Amino acid sequence: MASLTSEYQFIQGKLDVLQQWLETNNIGTTTKKRKMIVKDMFWIVSLENNISVADIQNIITYIDHNPYYFEEGSLWESLSKYLQNDNFVRFFKDIFNLTPIGLNTSPNACCGKGELLYRLLRPTSRQPNKGDIIDEGIKKELKGNEVRIYSESITGKEYRQITSDIFDGVITGNVVKSGGLKGTTNFEIEKHTHNSHYIQEFDKLEKPMMINLFKDLLQKLEIDGNSLSLSTEICKNGYDQTTYQKILLKDWFNKDKKKMGFDEFIIMGDGTNIKILKDASDLEKLTIYNDYFRINQNLKIGWYVK
């Protein structure tokens, strides 16, 4: 019986110190939500890393006296230098992958990877009414892997109709090889796999005509800015798919930044190469590696970036 009591006290001690850590950092809006987060953390503390109550208290004290600042690059190398304790770094690596339900602000606003880790490492950070984190007055939007930046208004089906209206009868489109539109001709000028095809097709046109086509396209896609200047940039040396992609990405990023009101867009990824974007000029840090143009669906078009 004594051993059971001792085991209970041991477990309860860890639960209590985790609960207090969350309360001090104002993580979780209710006691119920904090308890949900604590349960997720307890598994990592006890079964994955064998972190003791004293370890947790030492981590908390160290962070309080030595503020940690997130920077671009490897989070794990940064934490290794900061904590100088491999076991503590492994603990935070596991915390990084937690997406506790207790941090969700609504059914449609789920906690992402890295968010709990950020809040623990930055004790004065808070969860604003809209967005992920506010830290020293700076509103931050955190993203994990498979980051998508979307159009605010144009769906895949609308994109398909717009491109068809502009290019049909002027250039030859591509034939879709799978899915619900299999066998139909469309104008997926944004796709890497069709780039060489469309370079050849647009080369058949006089440059003024090509510029006007893209001017019309950018206007119908509701892209802000001087559409003539932007379309001229796309067509400067024949069709430049990369420039077309970047123009759309910049527009969508700016509109998302305005809508969400964030100051920094932080791509956490898997923690090995954090990227921090403060404005559209920082988009040069990103690579568009795939599209999210579902031309047979009513979903907003977008890019996968990393």
Counts of helices then strands in the chain (DSSP H, E): 11, 9
**DSSP-derived secondary structure letter, 151:** E
Q: Whole-angstrom Cα distance, residue 35 to residue 102?
A: 8
Contact 20, 35 (CB under 8 A): no
Handedness of CA 99, 101, 105, 109 (dihedral sign): positive
pLDDT value, residue 140? 94
Enter the tokens of residue 279: 């404005």
C-alpha 23/C-alpha 281 separation (Å) is: 38
Q: Which residues contact 193 (CB under 8 A, 6 or more apart)?
A: none
pLDDT at residue 47 in the model: 67
Q: Are 261 and 139 in contact (CB under 8 A)?
A: yes
> What residue ranges in 31-158 does DSSP mark as E strands?
133-135, 138-143, 147-155
Whole-model pTM: value is: 0.90
At residue 112, the pLDDT reads 75
306 residues of the chain, pLDDT tens digit each: 445 455 556 578 888 999 999 999 999 888 999 999 999 898 888 767 788 999 999 999 999 999 999 999 999 999 999 999 999 999 999 999 998 888 876 655 566 789 999 999 999 999 887 768 999 999 999 998 889 999 999 999 999 999 999 999 999 999 999 999 999 999 999 999 999 999 999 999 999 999 999 999 999 999 999 999 999 999 999 999 999 999 999 999 999 999 999 999 999 999 999 999 999 999 999 999 999 999 999 999 999 999
